[in-house]
Amino acid sequence: MIYTHLTRDERYQIAILAKANFNQSEIAKMMDRDKSSISRELRRNRGLRGYRPKQANDKAQERRLACANSPRVADSTWAVVEEKLAEAWSPEQISGHLEARCQPGVSYESIYQYIYADKRAGGSLHKTLRCQKTRKKRSSGRERRGTISRQVSIELRPAIVLERARFGDWEADLVIGAGQKQALVTINERVSRYSIIFHVPFKTAQAVGDALITLLKPFAHCVHTLTTDNGKEFSQHERIASALSADFFFAHPYASWERGANENMNGGFKLEVQPYADRTLTVP
């Protein structure tokens, strides 16, 4: 069955039939639609007051407009993406799955954009992500003051990085442990997916900077770029870049999809940070 978007009239029909206590299979049969289409519609566009067709249609239209920058991705492909997200697949896994099946591909970055566009439209796809970061709370006036100086935006990063056409473009992050003191530095290379996880006893810029330099020094000959978020722990970016002879870039605030490989890796494991456990874990 070829996937097509539900129309406004069909959404009113769904609302009427659902109110009459017909189940999803019965609604699908009466409307000559696949059951998954009905299930997806009710899941994505149900509000606090239940499924309302006008609200559902408005959400769908806003979602389509927000994703208009991806015209080459077929509706049927997005349907597969949503099904796999509902099964707790990560955007990277979905992207690889589509590529392996020789289906029209979609990058994991585009999937993240699709998810956040859906969130802005009132959808719930973002709840399927394994890693959902909360904004860091600032506990003092000193912490709130100032920003990282001399940042270089991800917008200036070479296009070849996004294309995954070479080895040596890395992403890094800091995963905070219990008690908000200890942490894990996580690093991954975009092409090979080679990953390093390292325990740091303190989440200071000095400790994080030392860890990044130590961990990436053996790869210094093939560290072209390093991309992180805007956390204060990366304020020594110039020292890191100089030590590794690399270019250092910062993603936009709250745009985790721009570092999707690293963000998803952080959500894919659960590690308890043990006191004084100075260990390095490499994941080929």
Rounded CA gap, 274 and 78, in Å?
A: 41
Residues 6 or more apart whose CB falls under 8 angstroms from that of 159 comprise none
Q: What domains sit in the chain, N to C, each tagged with a CATH number?
A: 8-128 (no CATH), 141-283 (3.30.420.10)
What's residue 183's pLDDT?
82
Residues 6 or more apart whose CB falls under 8 angstroms from that of 139 comprise none
Asked whether 184 and 175 are in contact (CB, 8 A), the reply is: yes
- At residue 142, the 3 state secondary structure works out as helix
Q: What is the pLDDT along the chain (284 residues), one digit of tens a residue?
A: 455 678 888 898 898 888 888 899 899 898 888 888 888 888 877 777 788 888 888 877 777 666 555 556 777 888 888 888 888 888 877 887 787 676 666 787 788 888 888 887 778 888 887 655 444 444 444 444 457 889 999 889 998 988 888 899 999 998 876 566 668 898 989 888 888 888 888 889 999 999 999 999 998 889 999 999 988 999 999 999 999 999 999 988 766 666 655 555 555 444 433 443 444 444 44
Rounded CA gap, 71 and 104, in Å?
A: 12
What's residue 37's pLDDT?
85
* Alpha carbon 234 to its chain's center: 20
Q: Global pTM?
A: 0.48
Of the candidates 108, 122, 4, the one whose C-alpha atom is nearest the C-alpha of residue 66 is 122
What's residue 71's pLDDT?
52
Rounded CA gap, 156 and 123, in Å?
A: 31
